[in-house]
Amino acid sequence: MNGSYFQAIWNGLMVLATGLQALLLLAIRLIFGYKFFIAGLGKFGHIASIVSFFEELGIPLPAWNAYFVSSAECIGGILLILGLCTRPTAFLLTIIMIVAFLTAHLNAVKEIFSNPVNFVHEGAFNYLLASLILFAFGPGKISVDHFLGRWFFRVK
């Protein structure tokens, strides 16, 4: 076998991987957009206990922040599902998840090197990871952002 055989296999794998990008980003947006939306609704449904929890964590302006986070998760979830304003939304949700780790899950952060499994098993981890992926890679080709980009900016 020569190098061209392996090159052909490699090129085929790259075509397959590139084709899967849009579907993977769509799946992440749909799954975590829905999860963010539901989490935000849940916070609104128990806003008094969320305010109290934020007070216990020492978060400044706990009532304002409780409504802000609930709104950001609800609206952000819908935007992620649509693939509209994905990167700014993902950035905002990333910041919210980092704050969640630095307040509600601080012990997991402190033990990240001695007990990394604890960090990864925190509920906020998957949300943080999904937000970071969408911020870094964008919404993919199956999104309102992509279609608007093609329409207004002639992006391929």
Per the domain annotation, does 82 fall within a domain? yes
What total of structural domains would you count in the chain?
1
Write out the residue range of the structural domain in which residue 89 sits. Answer: 23-153
Are residues 143 and 83 in contact, defined by beta-carbon separation less than 8 angstroms? yes
pTM, rounded to two decimals: 0.90
What is residue 156's predicted lDDT score, i.e. its pLDDT? 56
Per the domain annotation, does 112 fall within a domain? yes
Per the domain annotation, does 133 fall within a domain? yes
What is residue 134's predicted lDDT score, i.e. its pLDDT? 98
> For residues 130 and 90, what is the distance between their CA atoms, to the nearest angstrom?
8
Per the domain annotation, does 127 fall within a domain? yes
Average pLDDT, the chain: 94
What is residue 2's predicted lDDT score, i.e. its pLDDT? 65
Per the domain annotation, does 33 fall within a domain? yes
Backbone angles phi, psi at 71, to 5 degrees: -65, -45
Angle at 16 between CA 13 and CA 22, to 5 degrees: 140
Per the domain annotation, does 80 fall within a domain? yes
Using 50 as the pLDDT threshold, list the residues of the chain that sit under it: none
What is residue 122's predicted lDDT score, i.e. its pLDDT? 94
The SS3 assignment for 112 reads coil
